[in-house]
């Protein structure tokens, strides 16, 4: 088992209606790797600056994440994002972005990373995603992107999508990419570009899987405490691909395993939003994950039952008389 993620390693400052944090550990590669580490061996590829210290590496190493391919840029600063959420926690508002060392990032995969059978291309510039895909021998590669790349580098993104097996976008981005207002039509149009599997992320409303075997939808778990959704999509991807790697689906896909992976992805995303940054996922236990999976099963389970019509009552037909005209 071996899974590699290439993406951002960042410091995030986030404010929500339920609190705020300054310069907490974040980034797509970090959220993904922490979630996936509960299922399989994970290696990270991404750049950091001098402000990324031993205490930050320790959070990753404590989960067995291989950090050998994290590139330390001497004299540089780590990618920084500042944002906030209002009461609609599905919408992130960006207040400040500092690319820093990420601006000159040229991913270089070690032999271990190149030979990983499962690869996740985090939300980075599409040409970088294509470069990483060429370096990798992975038989199952998944890609995430965003509206910025759809608007500014559309052709490059479409080319990158044609070189991977699984695309993971939110539902609005799928519609934007394909110019199809209907999600089912958008997913099918996307599959025509190359991917065998398309996952539409729908925030608090869950996610939908599309493949040649059909479609499968899973709701978002009804949570009483949602504090910070930053990184939820990457946590979902980590649970999804981590599980697939654990059951050795690389090189193909099996409908049963894909559906189970959707459930585990949703489980990891549900934990991510319960606290700020990596605070909740980094302290998780396997027992909590198993309990949360059971909660998802209870939420979606029902028994089939035949339609039973009650005996029809005779219709009462009003007749003329007092009170009737």
Provide the CATH number for the domain around residue 281: 3.40.1190.20
- Residue 322: per-residue pLDDT: 53
Largest Cα span, the chain: 97
Dihedrals φ, ψ of 85, to 5°?
-125, 140
Containing structural domain, residue 151: 3-300
Q: Is the pLDDT of residue 247 over 60?
A: yes
Look at residue 317 and tell me if it is in a domain: no
pTM beyond 0.85, yes or no:
yes
CA angle, 96 then 71 then 68, to 5°: 130
Q: State the pLDDT confidence band at 308, using cuts at 50, 70 and 90.
A: confident
Q: Computed from CA positions of residues 151, 174, 281, 104, in that sequence, does the dihedral angle turn out positive or negative? A: negative
Higher pLDDT, 190 or 251: 190
pLDDT digit string, tens, across residues 130-165: 999 999 999 999 999 999 999 999 999 999 999 999
- Residue 178: per-residue pLDDT: 96
- Residue 315: per-residue pLDDT: 57
Alpha carbons 158 and 274: distance in angstroms, whole number: 34
Of 65-69, 84-88, 203-207, 247-251, the poorest mean pLDDT is in: 247-251
Q: Which helix (H) or strand (E) holds 265?
A: helix 255-272
pLDDT over 70, % of the chain: 94
Structure tokens, 74? 């001497």
Taking residues 30-41, report their average pLDDT: 97
H helices within 273-323, ranges in order? Answer: 286-300
Look at residue 252 and tell me if it is in a domain: yes
Residues in contact with 225: Cβ distance below 8 Å, sequence separation at least 6, in sequence order: 274
Please tell me whether residue 322 adopts helix, strand or coil conformation.
Answer: coil
Secondary structure of 160-214 as H, E, C letters: HHCCCCEEEEEHHHHHHHHCCCCHHHHHHHHHCCCCCEEEEECHHHCEEEEECCE
Q: Is the pLDDT of residue 325 over 80?
A: no
- Do 115 and 91 contact (CB within 8 A), yes or no? no
Look at residue 307 and tell me if it is in a domain: no
Look at residue 308 and tell me if it is in a domain: no
Q: State the pLDDT confidence band at 280, using cuts at 50, 70 and 90.
A: very high
Q: Is the pLDDT of residue 41 over 70?
A: yes
Alpha carbons 234 and 178: distance in angstroms, whole number: 22
Look at residue 117 and tell me if it is in a domain: yes
Look at residue 316 and tell me if it is in a domain: no
- Do 76 and 9 contact (CB within 8 A), yes or no? no
Look at residue 166 and tell me if it is in a domain: yes
Task: Specify the number of domains making up the chain.
Answer: 1
- Residue 87: per-residue pLDDT: 87
Place of tokens 């370096």: 135
Look at residue 189 and tell me if it is in a domain: yes
Q: What is the mean pLDDT of the chain?
A: 92
């Amino acid at each position: 088992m071996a899974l590699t993620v290439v993406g951002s390693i960042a410091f995030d400052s986030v404010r929500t209606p339920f609190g705020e944090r300054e310069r907490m550990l974040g980034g797509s590669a970090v959220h993904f790797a922490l979630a996936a580490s509960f299922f399989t061996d994970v290696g990270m590829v991404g750049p950091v600056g001098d402000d990324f210290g031993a205490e930050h590496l320790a959070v990753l190493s404590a989960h067995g994440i291989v950090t050998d391919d994290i590139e330390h840029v001497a004299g540089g600063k780590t990618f920084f994002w500042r944002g906030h959420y209002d009461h609609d926690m599905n919408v992130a508002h960006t207040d400040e972005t500092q690319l820093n060392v990420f601006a000159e990032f040229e991913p270089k995969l070690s032999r271990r990373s190149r030979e990983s059978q499962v690869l996740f291309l985090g939300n980075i510039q599409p040409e970088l995603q294509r470069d990483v895909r060429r370096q990798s021998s992975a038989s199952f590669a998944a890609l995430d992107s965003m509206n910025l790349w759809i608007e500014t580098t559309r052709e490059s993104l479409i080319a990158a999508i044609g070189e991977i097996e699984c695309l993971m976008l939110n539902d609005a981005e799928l519609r934007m990419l394909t110019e199809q207002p209907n999600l089912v039509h958008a997913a099918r149009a996307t599959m025509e570009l190359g991917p065998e599997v398309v996952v539409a992320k729908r925030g608090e409303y869950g996610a939908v899987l599309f493949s040649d075997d059909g479609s499968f939808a899973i709701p978002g778990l009804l949570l009483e405490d949602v504090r910070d959704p930053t990184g939820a999509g990457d946590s979902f991807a980590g649970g999804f691909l981590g599980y697939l790697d654990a059951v050795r689906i690389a090189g193909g896909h099996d409908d049963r395993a894909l559906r189970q992976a959707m459930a585990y992805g949703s489980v990891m995303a549900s934990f991510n939003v319960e606290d700020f940054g990596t605070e909740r996922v980094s302290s998780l236990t396997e027992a909590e994950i198993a309990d949360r999976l059971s909660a998802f099963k209870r939420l979606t389970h029902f028994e089939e039952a035949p339609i039973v019509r009650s005996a029809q009552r005779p219709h009462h037909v009003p007749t003329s008389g007092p009170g009737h005209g």
